[in-house]
Amino acid sequence: MKTLRDVLRSAGPCITIVMPPYHPGEPANSSVALLKRYLQKSRQQLNSLLCPNEEIGALLRPLEDLSKDAALAFGSRVHRVLFRSPNSFEQFHLSGSLEESFTLGGSFAIRRLLRPLSLPRIYYILAVHKTGVDLLRQSGADTETVALPGVPNTLAEALALDVPDHDLENRAPAGGNPGAMRRVRFGTGAGHETEESHLSDYYKMVDRAIQDLLRKSGAPLVIAGVEKDTAVYRRISGYGRIVQPGINGSLDVRRELQELVRQAGEILFSASVETDAQTLKQTIMRMSSSRFSTDLKTVANAAAEGRISDLYLNESAHRISDFEVGSYRSLGEEDVLNFAAVQTILHDGRVCELPSGRMARQAEVIGILRF
């Protein structure tokens, strides 16, 4: 957010381009073709604003250089967001669900980015199944596999540590330090009961390691797997930040990693929306009507003055117009709601979008005033 805030301070013209993931050979437009198309559109709009050719050339040059970069043709598994203004050129990589877009205005277009920006900076995905577990760490657009110290990779490996079957209190090590390992019982029995008992004991080992790993950060954990296995894990887990619901179904972590991350992001976003909607409802109920506003003009002016602490936007609402707020003058028709969002972030406020049905008073915008 600090980097984004620095970028948002840029004076216009501001070009915002969202480019979707692309893999070479796909039928959709390549990243190179898409960027070239948006470059042409940029030039047309800048000409219509009567910008001097010299300024247009200087503004578009970094984007033209990027379109010729061989690395761009190799594609990307995540979204690429480009911000270009006369004194700024930044690229961000974001995971999640975003539509490709192009915007030219007096400030950067960030409303489409609010969803991925609402996700936790770091979260984890635990894929559980009868043969073992896979733990993934998601940080921004980067996904990595995380090893669990002291935990066998599979249930079979855990059972291989077992003592001979004539001992009815079979045990296997759990934890990180082999010299001071706790013991996990693998009770013997018959058929289905034995299988579920072994799985439950194995998941206990996994859960202890996860609690040790995540206790300090308190990062959210999304559970993925078939319902029968995830139910067993939830029943034995002592970690307090497991997100509800989880990802239901069997996904191959290696082959369907992007889909796993996408679904986890949607679950976390839905949880965030629910929290924000409840917070807004409670805030409006206890707060004097003088401390918040649903009037867009009032909210836009207050945001520009740094008086908005929390801004709630109706995700379906757009107010496109040629407008002026304080010293800001739009470049033609722009979204006033986007302007309010930019100004709120610039003044260290918080912005979120809610579905129409979750907005208090069915408003298109609600600004909570600092003073």
For position 192, what pLDDT does the model report? 52
For position 16, what pLDDT does the model report? 97
For position 188, what pLDDT does the model report? 47
- Full-model pTM: 0.82
For position 200, what pLDDT does the model report? 85
Tell me the H-state helices in 53-106: 53-67, 70-73
Q: Where are the domains of the chain?
A: 1-117, 122-269, 287-371
For position 48, what pLDDT does the model report? 95
Instruction: Collapse the DSSP code of 351 into the 3-class scheme (helix H, G, I; strand E, B; otherwise coil) and give the result.
Output: strand
pLDDT, mean over the chain = 87
For position 178, what pLDDT does the model report? 41
* Residues facing residue 146 across a β-bridge: 135
Q: What residue ranges of the chain have pLDDT lower than 50?
A: 163-191
Homologous superfamily (CATH) of 287-371 is Ribosomal protein L30/S12 (3.30.1330.30)
Tell me the H-state helices in the chain: 2-8, 31-48, 53-67, 70-73, 114-117, 155-160, 191-214, 227-236, 257-286, 296-304, 336-346
For position 165, what pLDDT does the model report? 40
How would you label 27-41 residue by residue, b for 16+ Cβ within 10 Å and e otherwise?
Answer: eeebbbebbbebbee
239 Ramachandran zone, left/alpha/beta (phi>0; psi -120 to 50): beta
Q: What are phi and psi of 174, to 5 degrees?
A: -140, 145
For position 182, what pLDDT does the model report? 45
Homologous superfamily (CATH) of 1-117 is eRF1 domain 1 (3.30.960.10)
CB atoms within 10 A of CB 16: 23
CB atoms within 10 A of CB 187: 14
Burial class (CB in 10 A: 0-12, 13-18, 19+), 313: buried
Instruction: Collapse the DSSP code of 327 into the 3-class scheme (helix H, G, I; strand E, B; otherwise coil) and give the result.
Output: coil
CA angle (118 as vertex; 115, 124 as ends), nearest 5:
110
Same fold, 1-117 and 287-371: no
Interatomic CA distance for residues 178 and 7, integer angstroms: 49
Tell me, what DSSP letter sits at residue 208? H
Which amino acid is residue 128, in one-letter code? V
Interatomic CA distance for residues 357 and 314, integer angstroms: 9
Instruction: Collapse the DSSP code of 243 into the 3-class scheme (helix H, G, I; strand E, B; otherwise coil) and give the result.
Output: coil
The fold of 122-269 is: Nucleotidyltransferase; domain 5 (3.30.420)
Tokens representing 319?
A: 């107010």
Interatomic CA distance for residues 87 and 58, integer angstroms: 10
For position 160, what pLDDT does the model report? 76
Q: What are phi and psi of 127, to 5 degrees?
A: -90, 115
